[in-house]
Amino acid sequence: MNKTSCDISFDFTGRFLPPVFILVFIVGLVANGWGLKSLKLNWKKLGDINVFVLNLSLADILYLLTLPFLMVYHFMGSKWIFGDAFCKITRFCFNLNLYGSIGFLTCISVYRYLAIVRPMRAMGRLTVTRSVAISIMVWLLVSIQSLPDMFYIKTFGNKSGKCYDTTSKRYAEDYLNYSLGWTLTGFCIPFLITLGCYGHVIVILCRKDTTDKVLKQRCLSLLLILIVLFSVCYIPYHVLKNLNLWARVLSKQPICYEWFNGVYIAHQISRGLVCLNSALNPLVYLHVHEDIPAQIRQLLQRARHMFSRPPSTNSGNVSMIEMTNLNSRV
């Protein structure tokens, strides 16, 4: 440890997050736009899970629309020019996206579990009306959990013009206690429910030799996607967020620990990774309808054919005409 001031690489945030935001914004809008289009076309075929998939996409788009403002914020050297109220709204939308996504993924997992493991009990109970009611409940619970965050200082009380994703150092200790409770109720409990549901589903599917192999493959691949989402996006963020808050609490003392800078940088990386959930969530669409993977393969084949096509020349035109005539003869 060192009794001098801490040497924290605050400029790392401005170099790392803007490129991540740009990537997530472009990929996320395209992926979620495509997902909503597919959802609209296959609404009647998808079953009751489509309500949760729709809400998952809406939560992603809600957050994606705030990213341009965060890009401007970091490009200006962490100077927030859009006012305190909009700073809080931006952070509130992030929390709605994060914990709303976790909530709707948990709902999808429970529905999958009931449909596969308890099909007789679930018959007639998994209705669209109940799915809508559960979705409204998820939004309400996430909003209630996120509401206290709005009352913490985000921009006022600091001369640097920052828009804190948590709060100023003065209230870091109180925010740490709030964040720990939030992590338990908004992340840990849903994560354990999701893990338990799919763990039981996989065990049941592996025991039954008569189970459709396609169903096994789809459940295993969805479980893999959820593991990636939680391992890459959600777990590092929650661990490092609370650890960074603890470091900020300790930094109020005239003692600087060497790990402060490492935790700060790791936390900023986890903030970039957690944003990826808005671009990765559309992968769930692959497993709510059988036609979507086929559609993606067709799109990839078209793109490959388009980019691999040689430039048009006279000889190329002649050869194409010859091939067309040959095909028509066959």
For the chain, the average pLDDT equals 81
149 vs 305: CA distance, rounded Å? 50
Confidence of residue 199 (pLDDT cuts 50, 70, 90): confident
Instruction: Tally the C-alpha atoms within 13 A of residue 122's C-alpha that lie toward its C-beta.
Output: 14
pTM for this prediction = 0.82
Residue 57 has pLDDT above 70, yes or no: yes
Burial of 327 (0-12, 13-18, 19+ CB in 10 A): exposed
Per-residue pLDDT tens for 146-155? Answer: 999 999 999 8
Which domains does the chain show, CATH number per domain? 11-294 (1.20.1070.10)
Place of tokens 């990636």: 228
Whether 27 contacts 277, CB under 8 Å: no
Res 28: pLDDT = 92
In sequence order, the 6+-apart residues with CB closer than 8 A to the CB of 306 are: none
Count CA atoms closer than 13 A to 192's CA, side-chain side. Answer: 6
Between CA 55 and CA 218 the distance in angstroms is 22
Closest CA to 285 of 6, 30, 99: 30
What are the tens digits of pLDDT across the range 282-330? 877 666 555 545 555 555 566 566 666 555 444 444 444 443 443 433 3
Structure-model confidence comparison of residues 218 and 107, the more confident one: 107
What integer pLDDT is reported at residue 295 of this predicted model? 52
- What is the CB neighbour count within 10 angstroms for residue 196? 13
Q: What percent of the chain has pLDDT over 90?
A: 42
Give CA–CA dist 94/165, Å, rounded. Answer: 9
Angle made by CA atoms 115, 116, 120, in degrees to the nearest 5 = 60
Q: If you average pLDDT over residues 215-219, what whole number do you get?
A: 71
- As a whole number of angstroms, the distance between CA 119 and CA 113 comes to 9
- Average pLDDT over every residue of 202-224: 72
pLDDT tens string 127-148: 888 889 999 999 999 999 999 9
How far is the first Cα of the chain from the last one, in angstroms, to the nearest whole number?
81
Strands (E), 237-306: none
